[in-house]
Chains A and B, each alone.
Chain A
Amino acid sequence: MRLNRKDLLGLEQLSKEEIELFLDTATSLREVSERPIRKVPTLRGKTIVNLFLEASTRTKSSFELAAKRLSADTVNISAASSSILKGETLLDTARNLEAMKIDAVVVRHSSPGAAVFLARKLAVPVINGGDGIHEHPTQGLLDLLTIRDRKGRIEGLQVAIVGDIAHSRVARSDIFGLSKLGADVRVCGPPTLIPRDIERLGVGVHHELRKALREVDVVIVLRIQREREKAGVLPSIREYRSLFMIDKEALSSAREDVLVMHPGPINRGVELDPEVADSTQSAILAQVTNGIAVRMAVLYLLIGSR
């Protein structure tokens, strides 16, 4: 299998084989983080820019650790410290970075399409670290890896994604990835938080939690942003909680060995009951660990031999 692309912009464009190459490479690279010296010399002399123009703790630190464990140098730029505040455009910022002889850009931006835009303009690989409500491909890959580890397969699994589907780039990347690998995906949430026409992506739609979770193997719980209440798409957090929060009782209609996942950060007691978040069914911390391996795989496969 050969990866014949410059960038990682989303899972929508990837083939099943390409996704599996990322997952297999990540599985091999996981061992590096278990060593006494957690570093290999693979990307020595390469420089990776983390251009994070939207708040992020987990993804940014995960990309940075992944780069460092492969011996690459990293430069972190956040919105608060960048010239974007001084009115520089995204393209000018990126072109200036490229003029400094770098080897890849990881970009997080609030506008859907920001990563695609940069990828077209820059000669170096661009990795989408989340662009608005469009895609978050490395989160999608780490979710797939976590499910494959715990369940031994992805094909044929029943997966429910619950929460704010409309504003979730994670949901979109998960739907593309899971569908390509043969899982059966359904989404669940209040009608205001489910995009119209989402069925076109090949998923089932539910508005009743118990029905949505019937016999599922995996539940991916999405974060409910408190701002949605003010925006008027969510009557109240309290109502959401009573209808859609994942707790022991809600999970009783799922399969006994159901796996619970969440991309973080969790609103404990809003979308996810703390008891479930901390139970053995939860793979939330495994997701974080796998995130580093997946990002190492992405960096290796995109930068390694350029």
Chain B
Amino acid sequence: MKHVSKKREIRLLDADGVRRTIIRMSHEILEHNRGIRDLALIGIRTRGAYIAERVASIIEAEEGKRPFFGVLDITLYRDDLSSASEKPIVRATEIPFDVRDKVIVLIDDVLYTGRTARAALDAIMDFGRPKKIELAVLMDRGYRELPIRADYVGRELAIKENEVVLVRIREIDGIDEVVIEEMNEAE
């Protein structure tokens, strides 16, 4: 019988590192969009939503006004529902503004295969036709399975396929940090 066990954990960012990275990304979003007119942030559940909230607060502090803000659950748009053994829990999607003609920045914790981003793009299109959609991720770990790239990247990683990037967020995990875990298949 195969067991997947943790081999070792390397910490990539501590709480200060996470904070600084999110601040830099927020500034990049502002700079690139020249302010917040028509700007809307949508966080992908679960951890992306908390990162997006922080980006919104930083932008609000800089510009004196909060950008449009929403939270997206992509479960209903997943492409692996018929193969998933356990039914993923559907959580609420809250997009309390009209997406038409907005510049939407999708925010997630990790960009990996690109399948979550694909699902999120489809979901947003079902709410209307935005002017533009951009993607911001705290960690880009490579190994894409779809032609998708991020516009804002906290950090790009070159790691092995059997390594896992874990973004921990205070609101859920009790701590802000990013670690790399090497998974080891043992007998």
Contact = CB atoms under 8 A, between A and B. Distances in A.
B85 interface: yes
B128 A36 contact: yes
B10 interface: no
Contact of B92 (A28, A42, A70): A28
A304 B88 CA distance: 9
A185 B51 CA distance: 45
Contacts of B123: 40
Contact of B85 (A25, A297, A305): A305
B81 A36 contact: no
Contacts of B84: 305
B7 to A, nearest CB: 29
Chain B contact residues: over half helix, strand or loop, or mixed?
loop
B127 A3 contact: no
B162 interface: no
A39 B76 CA distance: 10
Interface string A27-67: 11101100111011110000000000000000000000000
A39 B126 contact: yes
Interface in B84-99: 84-87, 89-94
A40 B81 contact: no
Contacts of B5: none
Given A41-B76, A42-B76, A31 B93 contact: yes
A162 interface: no
B122 interface: yes
A27 B92 CA distance: 7
A28 B126 contact: no
A171 B81 CA distance: 35
A2 B127 contact: no
A70 B78 CA distance: 13
A36 B89 CA distance: 24
A45 B123 CA distance: 18
Interface in A7-35: 21, 24-25, 27-29, 31-32, 35
Contact of A31 (B81, B89, B94): B94
A40 B83 CA distance: 18
A42 B87 contact: no
Contacts of B126: 35, 37, 39-40
Contacts of B81: 42, 304-305
B109 interface: no
Nearest to A40: B76
Given A305-B83, A305-B85, A28 B127 contact: no
A9 B94 CA distance: 32
Given A41-B76, A42-B76, A304-B81, A29 B90 contact: yes
Nearest to A3: B87
Contacts of A28: 73, 90-93
A227 B100 CA distance: 54
8 contacts: A1-B89, A2-B87, A3-B87, A25-B89, A28-B93, A31-B94, A32-B76, A36-B127
Interface of B: 73, 76-77, 81-87, 89-94, 122-123, 126-128
Given A40-B123, A41-B76, 7 more contacts: A28-B93, A40-B76, A41-B77, A42-B76, A300-B76, A300-B90, A301-B87
Sorted from nearest, which 10 A-B pairs have the closest CB atoms? A40-B76, A28-B90, A42-B76, A28-B92, A305-B84, A37-B126, A25-B90, A305-B87, A304-B81, A28-B91
